[in-house]
Amino acid sequence: MNSTIEKFQGELRRYEQAAQNGGEQNLPFDLKNGFNFIDEEPLVEELDSLVRVVALGNKRRLVTLGAEYAEPQFMNREDAGLHFMQYGYWYKDDHDKWKRIPALQKWMQSGLRKKDFTGVRFDPGLPPGGVEGGILNLWTGFAIEEKQGDWSLLRAHMLDNMVQGNEDYMNRLLVWIAHMFQKPGEKIGVGYLFRGEPGAGKTTLPEFLGHIVGDRHAIMADKSEQCTGKFNAGLELCLFLAAEEAFFAGDPTQKGPLKHLVTGHRLRYEPKGRDAYMGPNFTNMMMTSNERFALAAMLKERRWNVHDVGNAQRNNEEYFGPLRAQMFGGGMAAMLYDLKRHKFDGIALRDPPMTPALREIITLALDDADKWLQYALTEGQFPVRDENHRAPVKWSTEIEKAEIVASYNDFVPNRKRVPWTSQDVQFFLRSRLPIETSKMMVERYSLHEGNGGKKKDRVPSWRFPTLGDARAAYTKVTGHTFEEDDA
């Protein structure tokens, strides 16, 4: 037996002996100090606020309540007895001697305690701690009580540094947070990534959002396993997830789970020692990273707002010190108050803008085929390897297949280590552009021909749109846009 428990039980026997010898007035502790009771009604009221019996499948468990617990604890009767050991119920026996029994035992036997729960769920769209149909809602509300006040320094940091002065991006960011505060039961399905150098202040906003949401429903993660690992039951009660340097974009095992965590309305949860189960997903995610390639974004990306944080206040304690003091001095309550009343009509939250930072990580994540085609569309010519001593293939409305295939094979490696065929290249091109198969007349040199050794042949070709129309078609399919200078 645990030595702490043995010590407590030894002290308890001495207290009981003192009570039997001298009565209530000689007890060595106050009967009404919050842990000891002589009346059933206040005992039941106290424990009803801390613990309830709940049905989990075909078993009964005691579940802890209240925001002071980082997450609800589901315990059997024995474990609950140890957890609430300090609570006692005192009564006089037939010999007018004081006796003590565990308060939990008296509470379990009492007809005054509240009804058992028939189940539990987490739904931040319902009142905190509410019960509907006998099912307990594990949402306990925000950790900060809203109150009018001043949070202007953080707001200025968000505008000046986190979105670098862009009012539209700032409004989108405010709306994203306001949506989480006003409609926590409605998943947004879009996350944020802030890239920046150490000390630039990219983690300042998620830090205070975590404080507002509270430890019970916010997770501050620095490892990918905390977000997409096997034992992920903590995510079931998560409203806000801040991931700092938690992911490596080049890890292919993270792409699918991360996408589903951000956009999926249901997740598979697997607690340690319990069977996995499906449940709703209310997580809103914000990532921060020092790395340029912090996220494996896809063409036509619709899951991430990506911004580069400016360095104007990097490592400036004279700037961040007052900001933190203001937020801890009532700024968080003021932020919650203001954004719970912030209007967001007309903002397409699920259609993130193509920021320069998002464009860069999409480019970094491109496969070789799209890099090859984007180069051609940007430069107006298909590239060739210098060592092959061929001239670049200029963009035209009709180009010989062999030239395009040769360029493609120069820059798009085949895992099978064999050259790509014209069918392979045509399949890719048609997934991006409207092209047609044709034959074009070309003029070649031949030692066996007259007329200066020239010979005309009809060779397989592809008909392409004009360069401007091809760029527009590619943008429509992929979401990638071209700079004005490329036109």
Residues 420 and 331 in one domain: no
337 and 196 fall within a common domain = yes
Q: Both 172 and 210 in a single domain?
A: yes
On whether residue 387 sits in a domain, the answer given is yes
Q: Does 136 map to a domain?
A: no
The one-character DSSP state at 165 is T
Asked if residue 371 is part of any domain, the answer here is yes
Classify residue 122: in a domain, yes or no: no
Residues 6+ apart with CB under 8 A from 474: 373, 374, 377, 432, 433, 480
Residue after which a domain boundary falls, among 332, 362, 392: 362
Let me know: does 228 contact 246? Beta carbons within 8 Å: no
Whether 288 and 403 share a structural domain: no
- Domain identity same for 355 and 379: no
**Residue 352 · residue 190 · CB < 8 Å:** yes
Looking at the structure, tell me whether residues 90 and 21 fall in a common domain.
Answer: yes
In a domain, 124, yes or no: no
Query: Does 341 lie in the same domain as 245?
Result: yes
Within a domain: 132: no
Residue after which a domain boundary falls, among 312, 329, 362: 362
Predicted model pTM: 0.74
DSSP letter assigned to residue 328: I
Tens-binned pLDDT, residue by residue, of the chain (487 aa): 444 445 445 445 555 555 555 444 555 455 555 688 888 999 899 888 888 888 877 788 888 876 566 567 788 888 888 888 888 898 888 888 888 899 999 999 999 998 888 888 889 998 887 777 788 888 889 999 999 999 999 999 999 999 999 999 999 999 999 999 999 999 989 999 999 999 999 999 999 999 999 988 999 887 766 666 565 667 888 999 998 875 555 565 666 677 778 888 888 877 666 667 788 999 999 999 988 877 766 666 678 899 999 999 999 999 999 999 999 999 999 999 999 999 987 777 888 888 888 888 887 778 889 999 999 999 999 998 876 667 889 999 999 999 999 999 998 887 777 889 999 999 999 999 999 988 876 665 555 555 555 667 788 999 999 999 999 999 888 878 887 655 4
Q: Tell me which of 95, 117, 139 is where a domain ends.
A: 117
User: Does 146 map to a domain?
Assistant: no
125 is a domain residue: no
Determine the Cα–Cα distance for residues 358 and 331; give it in Å rounded to an integer: 31
Considering only CA atoms, which of 323, 302, 4 is closest in space to residue 160?
323
Q: Tell me, letter by letter, the H, E, C secondary structure of 427-475.
A: HHHHCCCCCEEEEEEEEEECCCCCHHHEEEEEEEEEECCCHHHHHHHHH
Are both 164 and 190 inside the same structural domain? yes
370 and 322 in a common domain: no
Q: Is the domain of 385 the same as that of 351?
A: no
Do 324 and 433 lie in a common domain? no
| Total domains, the chain | 3
Q: What is the DSSP string of 367-406?
A: -HHHHHHHHHHHHTEE---GGGT---EE--SEEEHHHHHH
Domain span at residue 472 reads 366-486
CATH classification of the domain holding 197: 3.40.50
305 and 171, same domain (yes or no): yes
